[in-house]
Amino acid sequence: MDSDNYDSQSGDDAEKYSVPSAWPPTDRDSFEVSFNGIDDPFCPHSMPLFRKWTIVTILCNVTICVTCTSSAYTSTYTQMNAEFGTSSLVSTLGLSTFLLGIAFGPPMISPLSEYYGRRPIYLGTWSLFILSTIPSAVAKNIQTILVTRFFSGAFGGTFLSVSGGTVGDIFLPHQIQHPMSLVSLVPFMGPCVGPIVGGFINYNINWRWTYYIMIIWSSILMAIIVFFTPETFHPIRLYMKAKHLRQQTGDDRYRAPMEKKSGDVQPSKASIIAASMLRPLQFNFLEPMCLCLNVYSAILLAILYLFFLAFPRLFRTEYGMNLWQGGLTFLGIIVGMCLAAASSPVWSNIRTRLVEKHGTSEPEFRLPPAMLGGFLIPIGLFWFGWTISPNIHWIVPIIGSGVFGCGTVLAFTGIYTFLIDAYAKYSASALASNGLTRCLFSGKSCFLNKPRAFQLSNSVRFQLRFHYLACRCMTDSVTSGQQVFLHSLQLL
């Protein structure tokens, strides 16, 4: 919370924008500090566009690292089970505990960013993510891995949930579509990259190198975060501006909104933190639209992680692929996701036309990509299910998985941008509630569906399973999201 951290503007510019035009103020309210427009050097919106995209790139790299760590683990099963003498069912718990960590960590920690700011949470949680990954690399038993992966997921997932809030901090509403498309893409690209990276590592060297490489990668990112990721949360930036004004003028009456008292009662820090930590649960229980989107998101992520159980068995048994070749089959989903992200300019133009038509901006204007994604997801699952057969070339079901990947990213792009627009100040809490629902459901599904994956001995059963998932998506996209989408159609 130090104004010295903000060094993108010269001292002359800071002086120009930080001192009110009428000074000294003549009434008590005039001492409440605010931004002097988007050109105020303390306002995150005033950052150069290059710097904004640098921050987005850093956040996306961190997200890929975390999600890649979650799924690369699935490639270690064979060597790890042989060394520890455990079954594949027990090993699957490591994937589930990581997802459960992502589910429970962000609701407990990420709301603190709305009190302390984004940067302290980034530095603290990422340091703990690195430290909690080290025991997995040197573990002597499976129990160590299962426990430490929970904490890795908790700390890494917190970083992910706060990153969406940072994007909302630095970009204006009409600019946010493109960066949010990228931020929505990488949480799903990372899990698909994980089996590819893990497959090459475990095919050629020891399984522990999966963790060593992740530790090296995350340590490099830590250094980048320290030097290139500033504080962006607006109330904290105003606190920094107020502190700068007090130092510059010697007048201690300047206060940021978060420092001002309400009457004679000032809420304690503990009560503020407790309220922040409860807020994600309140979103799920008291906000029907948020809950509907969270449930739909949970089903999509659970299906994506079920691909990690189905793909290795499917393509290695039905098509005779080895470990690293089976990992490459996830490229179909990745290509579909990239195509969805590339469509961002289309959705940005649609939103612009809607704003011009209605003369105002509504959060529901962010949902058209989610509407298209809701159609593509069951189509992709049906395609994948119907073409699983040794008599059909392997590229055909992979294309179907790409359609699913495209629909998934479109759906999440709409959902993420809607949550940020609708709950601007508390966007980190809204995204944390989304992460809680998604990862809790996914962690449970991965473990409970592992025995069923063992029973899928032929392509017919694979078809039945994915047909069921497709029908489930069709049903839930209508029932769970009807409040949101019907209201959106009225606005459109």
User: How far from chain centre, in Å, is Cα 50?
Assistant: 22
Nearest partner of 49 among 5, 4, 8, 2, judged by Cα: 8
* Predicted local confidence at residue 6, as pLDDT: 37
Nearest partner of 351 among 184, 167, 175, 166, judged by Cα: 175
Is the distance from CB of 288 to CB of 483 less than 8 angstroms?
A: yes
CB atoms within 10 A of CB 364: 21
Q: pTM of this prediction?
A: 0.75
- For 285, the token pair is 């229980």
Question: Which DSSP symbol is given to 229?
Answer: -
The b/e string for 185-219 (b: 16+ C-beta within 10 A; e otherwise) is bbbbbbbbbbbbbbbebbeeeebbbbbbbbbebbe
User: How far from chain centre, in Å, is Cα 475?
Assistant: 25
Percent of the chain with pLDDT over 70: 80
Give the range with max mean pLDDT: 123-132, 295-304, 360-369, 452-461.
Answer: 123-132
Report how far residue 105's alpha carbon sits from residue 125's, in angstroms, rounded to the nearest whole number. Answer: 10
* Predicted local confidence at residue 474, as pLDDT: 52
Mean pLDDT across 79-104: 87
* Predicted local confidence at residue 267, as pLDDT: 62
Please give the residue that has the higher pLDDT: either 431 or 395. Answer: 395
* Predicted local confidence at residue 271, as pLDDT: 75
Report how far residue 432's alpha carbon sits from residue 294's, in angstroms, rounded to the nearest whole number. Answer: 10
Confidence of residue 261 (pLDDT cuts 50, 70, 90): low
* Predicted local confidence at residue 62, as pLDDT: 95
The b/e string for 42-73 (b: 16+ C-beta within 10 A; e otherwise) is bbbbbbeeeebbebbebbbbbbbbbbbbbbbb
Q: Is the pLDDT confidence value at 300 over 80?
A: yes
Report how far residue 33's alpha carbon sits from residue 245's, in angstroms, rounded to the nearest whole number. Answer: 9
Please give the residue that has the higher pLDDT: either 130 or 197. Answer: 130
Nearest partner of 478 among 377, 386, 351, 385, judged by Cα: 377
Report how far residue 459's alpha carbon sits from residue 284's, in angstroms, rounded to the nearest whole number. Answer: 38
User: How far from chain centre, in Å, is Cα 300?
Assistant: 14
* Predicted local confidence at residue 266, as pLDDT: 58
- Which residue is listed with tokens 């996306």? 60
Mean pLDDT across 209-229: 95
In single-letter form, the type of residue at position 272 comes to I
Backbone phi and psi for residue 265, each to the nearest 5 degrees, phi listed first: -110, 125
Give the range with max mean pLDDT: 308-312, 428-432, 463-467.
Answer: 428-432
* Predicted local confidence at residue 47, as pLDDT: 92
Instruction: Give CA angle at 12 (47, 225), nearest 5°.
Output: 35
Helix (H) or strand (E) holding 358: helix 344-358
With 0-12 / 13-18 / 19 or more C-beta atoms within 10 angstroms meaning exposed / middle / buried, residue 335 is: middle
User: What is the CATH topology of the domain spanning 44-231+274-491?
Assistant: Growth Hormone; Chain: A; (1.20.1250)
pLDDT digits (tens, 9 = 90+) for 4-16: 343 333 333 333 3
